[in-house]
Amino acid sequence: MKKREIKIEFAEYDNSSELDDIDIELVESAKEAVKSSYSPYSEFAVGAAVRLANGVIVKGSNQENGAYPSGLCAERVALFAAGSQYPNVAVEAIAITVKTESSYHKGPLAPCGACCQVMLESETRGKRDMKIIMHGENNSCYVTSNVRSVLPFAFDSDFLK
């Protein structure tokens, strides 16, 4: 038996103002997107924004449904919208934030596993790494350089060939 270790490298920012201007704009777009969340059941509103290689920002928010699991996470809403509107344009980065009833979530928000799989597909489809910016209350952020940083045992299209 061999024991192996997986290390995840990410940058931690105490304040999103430390980010590059284009990443600050992306975080602000995610914060704007959270306002359109339809989350009456969980009261957990999530906003996401993706920046495409052509500079366009596409926003999405979580959309719940009383017939669970018919809703969709903000990350997938944004990525699917970008993919349908700009099918041949790579995604450079995604920013994710959450707002609960009283304030933005205390710490940076990590995407769920299903969203990570869709992010990986978008990254593979675009043939470039996708930066992930996870935003939290008081503007703290975690930033990874690619999807495999948060999904080390990724299932990708290579398994299907």
Residues pairing with 95 in the sheet: 49, 133
Tokens describing residue 103: 């304030």
Question: Does residue 75 have an active-site annotation?
Answer: yes
Cα radius of gyration (the chain): 15
> Contact at 8 Å (CB) between 94 and 133?
yes
82: enclosing H helix or E strand: helix 74-85
CA distance 46 to 126: 24
Q: Which of 75, 92, 101, 137 is catalytic?
A: 75
CA distance 117 to 100: 25
Cα 138 to Cα 6, 8, 64, 161, distances in angstroms: 29, 24, 26, 45
The catalytic residue positions are 75
